[in-house]
Amino acid sequence: MGGEVSEHYLSGSAGCSFVYGDLIIANWKVIPKNVENLRGIQTIEGRLIIANNSGLKEFNYFSSLKEVGILDDHEVAIIVKNNPVLKRLPMPNLVDIELKKENKRVKLINNPVLDTSIPKTTTLEQQATTAVQQVQTATKRAKTVTQKTRDVVHQTKVMEKKKTVMVFPKGDITITTEKSSLERDKELAEEEKHDAALVERVKASTNKKWIWILTLAFLVLLVLTFAGVCVVFRIKRVSSGLPPPPYSLNKRSREQLTSVCQLAVVIVK
């Protein structure tokens, strides 16, 4: 992982050849311990930032560094800023980037004694190796762009066409047909129309069912009302056959009632 280089960072980066993220060397007054671990770094998938270091004179610990930045990125990859005594920053194996002000991917700011010239001791073998590495990097970038182009084309084809595969039971015959997006949209419209018609039929059936239920309830209520009227009329008719009160007794009935009362008094005594 990237980050700011310190003694703690260096102690945990032994044997690391790939750095993901920005690698920052800043505010160094002295060279920290285990700085030799930086020699194993070959790729920095981010920026290399060397800034505000008063203790750097000749920094040659990136001898294995080959690539800096993102492959398909043309932004600044190396920033060297405010290093008053930095004289040399050799990166002999760095591909596709030269440590010069003319390079758009490099920013050199306020490094008064920094020498960016290529050493005269560079051999033909080193130059050939650098050229091969540049070709390899360019090839890798071309492959990346080609793959992205293929992905875009594939996604476009998938959006435009849908495949329907029919496999017969024996599995020895496969028929593949392609449907255009227009046909697919037409099928979807027909399915939506069919679903809407089905919903309407269900609604009509439900409404009809409720009509029958309400009609039956009304008939039952009507029958009960008629029965109640008949009962009331019958009660009134029976009541009208009785003589109106108070009721009067004839002489014989009064005598019988008197004798019964006297007998009851005798029994009580």
Six token digits for residue 220: 């039952």
pLDDT in tens, 237-246: 655 555 555 5
pLDDT in tens, 60-90: 999 999 999 875 567 889 999 999 999 999 9
CA 53, CA 113: separation in Å to the nearest integer? 13
In 3D, which of 122, 124, 138, 16 has the Cα closest to residue 71? 138
Could you tell me the pTM of the whole model?
Answer: 0.47
Least confident of 21-25, 91-95, 212-216, 244-248: 244-248
Q: Got the DSSP string for 135-184?
A: HHHHHHHHHHHHHHHHHHHHHHHHHHEEEEEEE-TTSS-EEEEEEEHHHH
- Report the 10 Å Cβ neighbour count for 126: 13
Contacts by residues 3-8 (CB-CB < 8 Å, ≥ 24 positions apart): 5/32, 5/38, 6/32, 7/32, 7/33, 7/34
Q: What's the confidence (pLDDT) of residue 163?
A: 47
Q: What's the confidence (pLDDT) of residue 262?
A: 77
Q: By three-state DSSP, how is residue 101 classified? A: coil
Quick one: average pLDDT of 249-255? 73
pLDDT in tens, 133-166: 667 776 776 676 677 677 766 666 656 554 444 4
Q: What's the confidence (pLDDT) of residue 187?
A: 84
**177-202: burial string, b at 16+ Cβ within 10 Å, e else:** eeeeeeeeeeeeeeeeeeeeeeeeee
Tell me how far CA of residue 257 lies from CA of 166, 245, 261, 268, in angstroms.
110, 19, 6, 17
In 3D, which of 24, 7, 71 has the Cα closest to residue 43? 71
Mean residue pLDDT across the chain: 78
Q: Are 12 and 38 in contact (CB under 8 A)?
A: no
Tally of residues, the chain: 269
Q: What's the confidence (pLDDT) of residue 247?
A: 54
Is the peptide bond between 246 and the residue preceding it cis, with omega within 30 degrees of 0?
yes
Strand ordering across the sheet containing 78-81: 3-4, 23-26, 48-51, 78-81, 106-109
Least confident of 22-31, 85-94, 212-221: 212-221
Rg (CA), the chain: 53
Quick one: average pLDDT of 190-196? 85
Could you tell me the pLDDT band of residue 210, with boundaries at 50, 70 and 90? confident
Could you tell me the pLDDT band of residue 189, with boundaries at 50, 70 and 90? confident
